[in-house]
Amino acid sequence: MLIGLAANRLHHHDGTAALFRWLRASGKGLRELQVSLHVVGRTFDAIERQGFLDDRTVLLRYPYGRQGGLMKLVAEVVGMGAERTLDGAVYLIDPVDPSSVFPEATALKRQCVIHGKPFISTVASARDWVENERIHAGLPADAGADDLHAFAGQTLALIAHDAMKPAMLAFADEHFDVLARFGERVATGTTGQRLNELAWSRGWPSDTPWVTRYQSGPMGGDAQIADRVLEGRCQRAIFFEDPHVARQHEADIQLLERAVTTVTDQAVCITAPRVAARWATAAARRAQG
C-alpha cells in the first residue's frame, strides 16, 4: 500500500507534534499493513530527525514542497504507473498555515475525492484509517483505537452537496445500522430532511428525527456544525463533496474543514462515498468482534 504524507510545519516541529502523535499511535499498524510512505521533503527530514526511521518502515523522500514535492503527490494520486500510484494521502493541515490553501494542497484533496481515495487531514482521521485498514486485513482490533469507535458517545455529521445527495442517501440506507449507533446525528437542511424521511421509512419512530437539522449550507449550516466541532460536540463528519462544481458558498465549506483540522486529535472527516463505505464496513466488522 502506497500513501502520500505531508504535514504543515506546526505538525512536525518537535517530537510532541501531531505527526509524531500519529506515528506513535499507529506505527505498529502501518508496519503490519506494510505501508510505504511517499513523504514530502521537510516532513521526511523531521521524521528522520526525531528517529522514527528504522528498517521496518519504508519511506521514500520527495522534494520540498516549494520544489514540487506536494505536486508530485497529486500526480501520484491520479496515477503515474504501478510504483507511483498512491492509495491515498495523509496531509496533516495547520488551518492557519498559508501553504494549506496553495493550489497543490487544494488539488491533492480534490484528486483524492475524484478518485475515491482517502484524503486524511487530521490525527484522528489518520488513526481511524489505519485501524479500519487493519480490520479489512483481518487483524484483531487495536484497543488503542477503541475511543474512535465509541459511537454511542459521539455525534456524526452527514453533509452532501446537491449532486452528491443521492450518494449520501444510498450510503445511509446501506449502512443504516452503523450510523444509527451514534449518540446523535446532525445534518444540513435538505440532506437532513431526506435522511429523516429515509429513517422513518425504515421504521424509525415517526415523531423522532433521526438527524438534527441545521440550516442549509448556503444559509450557514456548515458554520453551525463547525461550531459543534470546535466545541468537541461533533467528533466525525462525513462530507460528500462535489469536486466538479464551483460553489458560491465555498467560504462556508472551508470553515467546516478548518474547524476539523483545528481540533486534529478529536475530529475524523471523510470526504468520498467509497472511503465512507469502507469505513462503515470496517466499523461493522469491528463491532462483531
Rounded CA separation 280/61 (Å): 33
Question: String of b and e for 101-110 (b: at least 16 CB within 10 Å)?
Answer: eeebbebbbb
Q: What is the pLDDT of residues 218-227, one digit of tens each?
A: 778 889 999 9
Instruction: Out of 94, 128, 222, 252, pick the active-site residue.
Output: 222
Whether residue 9 is predicted with pLDDT greater than 60 in this model: the reply is yes
Return the number of other C-beta atoms located less than 10 Å from residue 59's C-beta: 17
Model-level pTM? 0.94
> What pLDDT is stored for residue 257 in this prediction?
87
- What integer pLDDT is reported at residue 54 of this predicted model? 66
Active site residue 87: no
The grid coordinates listed for 164 are: 452528491
195: pLDDT confidence band, cut at 50, 70 and 90?
A: very high
Cell of 255: 470553515
Given a cut of 70, is residue 230 above it in pLDDT? yes
pLDDT at position 55 over 70: no
Say if residue 277's pLDDT is above 60.
Answer: yes
The predicted-structure confidence for 124-164, as pLDDT tens digits, reads as follows 999 999 999 999 999 999 999 999 999 999 999 999 988 89
Mean pLDDT value across residues 76-80: 96
